[in-house]
Amino acid sequence: MDPTTPMGDISRYFDSAKHSDVTIKFSGHELKAHKIRLCCASDYFRGAFEGNFQEASSNILELHYDDPDAIKGLVAWVYGLYYDGRGTFSPSPCQPTSGDLRWARRHLVNLFAAAKKYLVLSLSEHMKNRTSAVESYDFLYALISLTPGTGYPPAIEEMVGYLYDPARDPASELRKTLVGLVAWRLELFLGDEEARKKTRTLIIDEEEFGSDLLTRARQGGAVSLATGDWRKALECMYEDVPAGSNDGD
């Protein structure tokens, strides 16, 4: 992201007391900010500062029940910066190291949830739409690239459990992306006995995910990869019927 605007570089004012007229307080943390900048980025903040709420006449904005690193990342974005969730702010995307992959995936989900909750649409749309960008802010790219290139990715189980947790409903829009990713790789999963067992266990244990995946399989379309075999196999797995059974077709 380019932090510059026709008025100059705004990143220098991130968490700066200079010209600040509001302090954002959240989970024991606080950031100095500027109401005009928050209003330009979000209808949520515009409503808080311009409506009949105490924030309109106060220099304190309290946010509750959010991941603190997600809020830091959200506010950093408003000022033209990326935040890696580990204390580093940068005008360019922060790439996770191999030891940070599990944490990085969760940070992406929490950040997306915060962007949706507080209506920072430029951030949520950026994360959702840039599916070919080689950067850590792209959820789909991150989920694909931070898992093994072949076989059954362990990250799938982690992300299904994380995204289908009711506590992360603001990020539920990403479930469609996750289901699409699993559908895209499903032929690989079903081609390996161990991967097939893991996939079967996952779609049965995580019922809502299993239902979404089965629905996507029946829809076919671009994820069918020109064959219906894997869709039939998935239905057999989901219904607790051996994948090689024949229903008389």
pTM, 2 dp: 0.71
**pLDDT tens digits in sequence order for the chain, 249 residues long:** 555 455 568 999 999 999 999 999 999 999 999 999 999 999 999 999 998 878 778 899 999 999 999 999 999 999 999 998 888 899 987 776 655 667 777 888 888 889 999 999 999 888 776 533 333 334 554 554 444 444 566 677 878 888 888 877 877 877 887 787 777 777 666 677 777 788 888 888 888 998 888 888 777 644 444 445 666 666 666 665 444 444 444
Start-to-end Cα distance in the chain: 54
- The span from the CA of 102 to the CA of 146, in Å, is 8
Write the DSSP string, 132-149.
Answer: T--STT-HHHHHHHTS-S
Instruction: Give the 3-state secondary structure of residue 125.
Output: helix
Q: Within a 10 A sphere around the Cβ of 102, how many other Cβ atoms? A: 15
Instruction: Give the 3-state secondary structure of residue 19.
Output: coil
Residue written as tokens 């030891």? 99
Residue type at 6 in one-letter notation: P
